[in-house]
Structure 1
């Protein structure tokens, strides 16, 4: 009979002899408790002094009573070495946690000025110093030695007579920036002020100028500011001969409606500056804060590009349209029910077919009139009030038939960059 058969036969005998619940355990079980050990019995291993029925001190006294002198010296040396290593380990842990506590306190007890803004990142700090749009700069903090600092930043900091603090602990910079990716460079300065405008004025496409109506919040007055459009440059290369052509054009502006993510706003401003957009307008409320996080995401373009605010979106859009600006809003593909619902709520709209244009038509419109491109948030899109006041609606066609509908849109900054390229391409 093999092992398997003997095992099954023994189990059968036990099952016939008494119920399974009555089978006695052949090992000592600890006292039942309300924890894990209540349901799962464990083996109890007795201590050697308990087996002999003596105390722990008596057991070790008997064990080491007959040691030779050499063995006892070796044993004492081993015990001393273990105690020495234990004390060294404790001291090392004490120093580590002491430094960690100081580091943590340094990070939390940095005297941040509530009236200042802490710009961080190499490009953001350099752009702020180059643009010089802020009221004042206070202190430049460097994680490493000033000799290792970016030369452009250090040169401008000395030119502005800024206070420079180098070899600043990383924990201090983390505290100043809220754990932003500061690259070891932080600049304390006054917050960037954004002009409040009420409307976009008339534009002259022949000499590339346009006007802005700026609101003075202190005196509640309106002041007209003339702005010169940045000339667009196109490069044609034939047989390694490069020809640069400069032609005046109508301005292109971007209005951000309800974009609340500072990373998205920063990325949009970065793309707008890089591709030649003239200005960006954001609402005074329900929009991302144009602070250090946005500045870092824009790689410093927030200081370089003209950015304005408005406290009345509808009036701003309507007055700008009266001054000849073409308002183009972005939209996704509307189904029949959504289109019917929109037309029923707004009787002034006869049909959306005349409003919807292809993205390739944007360049032709930009060559004929100044354009304000309205970008909405990723989730809600452009608000209906602005949507219905637009001259045209434009969207980007999806290149893949995705029946799941999981990836049915683009990131706001990516969509903005693609539409800017269509406008200025």
Structure 2
């Protein structure tokens, strides 16, 4: 009877030969009655996979155990790695869903972005930075069109409110835009959340000065200091020079217009807005200008990094320089310094003594740094005289 029952069951569920059936019964006899675990696929031990659907019936003494059809883990399809999932990373379902949603959200935002285009007024430029924009709004030297602001919080919010008040007082429209729009307006420069559309500033001609020339007698009674720049080409250097000159009390800055950097928004930002309040004069013939000032009694003083590079002109340390009449400090370009023709127009040359023996290749200072040191040394004498 038992053999007949076993044969019927084997045929019904498609089990293996008798030896494997006996193994399976012995295995189940050591466990509590439960659902039979799935067997490994293709192994030498344990019963093979069942044939049809339904459960397997196992007899253990007087108990009949219902066993589900064994399954093979190797045949479970593995999902392909997703773009948001690292290689070999196992992600819980909930985290996987959140990551997937975040990925699709970013992709959707990227696709929804439209090309940014803010049409500028013809002939205008974009100032950027808090100080340049604020000083440009407070002065009447530029034509002003639009102020662009980014929403800010904290201490920056108060600054933005002041800019809005300045713009309103000048009748300048205010537009609140995103950071990405500001980045596009100023082409990636550090804008501090502020951009201003305005007309450019140009060099003033020497004829526009209040006192373009001083007589010899008047010059002897005044301590004036002018700064002359020959072919400064880097806008960052020009901005730093203007900032130092304004801070240290230089009376006027004159620059050669040929092969020199114009007054750009980058210059204004590098000067921390000093360009917006400090007149800069330009000339097409710097050498003729120096000759004319020398004839009026001004002392023309050049600068040099290495005294050995100068001939026929005395070179002294900036610490030894004394002056009691109007003086023009002439600064050369970043790479070549003063040209030979300009050096010959100087009465003296100033050098900054180093504090150590210098390694070859590091024998000079940045032009804006050197100018700041020279101007401080000279302008401090002006302060001692009570001017």
TM-score, normalised with respect to structure 1: 0.62
Q: 1:65 to 1:388 in 2, by over 3 A?
A: farther
The structure with the largest alpha-carbon Rg is 2
The answer for the alignment partner of 2:119 in structure 1 is 111
The answer (yes or no) to whether the contact 2:307–2:315 under 8 Å persists in 1 is no
Q: Select which of 343, 365, 375 maps to 1:410.
A: 365
Distance 1:102 1:110 in 2: 18
1:326 aligned onto 2:281:
no
Matches for 1:152-191 after TM superposition, within 5 Å: 152-166=162-176, 168-191=177-200
Counterpart of 1:140 in structure 2 is 147
In structure 2, C-alpha distance between the alignment counterparts of 1:279 and 1:206, rounded to whole Å: 20
Distance 1:103 1:375 in 2: 49
Alpha-carbon shift at residue 393 of structure 1 (Å):
0.8
Task: Name the structure with the higher strand share.
Answer: 1
* 1:308-327 pair list within 5 angstroms: 308-327=281-300
Secondary structure class of the residue paired with 2:371: helix
Q: Give CA-to-partner distance per residue, 1:124-146, whole Å, 9 cap, x none.
A: 11111223211x11111110169
Mapping for residues 1-400 of structure 1, pairs under 5 Å? 68=68, 89-101=99-111, 105-106=115-116, 109-134=117-142, 136-144=143-151, 148-150=157-159, 151-166=161-176, 168-197=177-206, 201-203=212-214, 249-335=222-308, 338-339=309-310, 351-352=312-313, 355-362=314-321, 364-365=322-323, 367-368=324-325, 370-400=326-356
Size of the aligned set, in residue pairs, is 305
1:189 is displaced (CA, Å) by 0.7
Q: How much has 1:89 moved relative to structure 2?
A: 4.6
In the alignment, the residues of structure 1 paired with residue 162 and residue 94 of structure 2 have an alpha-carbon distance, to the nearest angstrom, of: 53
CA RMSD of aligned residues (A): 3.9
* 8 Å Cα contact 1:205-1:250 kept in structure 2: no
SS of residue matched to 1:417: helix
Distance 2:227 2:125 in 1: 26
SS at match of 2:232: coil
In the TM superposition, what whole-angstrom CA distance separates every residue of 1:264-290 from its partner, at most 9, and x where no partner exists? Answer: 110110011111111111221211232
Answer yes or no: is the 8 Å Cα contact 2:146–2:173 preserved in 1: yes
Question: How far 1:204 sits from its partner (Å)?
Answer: 6.0
Distance 1:266 1:286 in 2: 16
Distance of 2:217 and 2:196 partners within structure 1: 41
Q: SS at 1:394's partner residue?
A: strand
For residues 376 and 318 of structure 1, what CA distance do their matches in structure 2 show?
17
- The 1:101/1:113 distance shift into structure 2, 3 A limit, reads farther
Q: Can you give the 5+ residue segments of structure 2 that lack an aligned partner in the other structure?
A: 1-39, 44-48, 56-66, 80-90, 381-387
Q: Secondary structure at the match of 1:360?
A: coil
Q: Secondary structure at the match of 2:297?
A: coil
**Contact preservation (8 Å) 1:138, 1:163:** yes
Contact 1:205–1:249 (8 Å) recurs in 2: no
CA distance in 2, matches of 1:306, 1:288: 15
From the superposition, tell whether residues 275 and 206 of structure 1 become closer, same or farther in structure 2 (CA, over 3 Å): farther
Gaps of 5+ in 1: 1-47, 53-59, 210-247, 343-350
Deviation at 1:153, TM superposition (A): 2.2
| C-alpha distance in 2 between matches for 1:283 and 1:61 | 96
Taking a change above 3 Å as real, the CA distance of residues 180 and 114 of structure 1, as seen in their structure-2 partners, is: farther
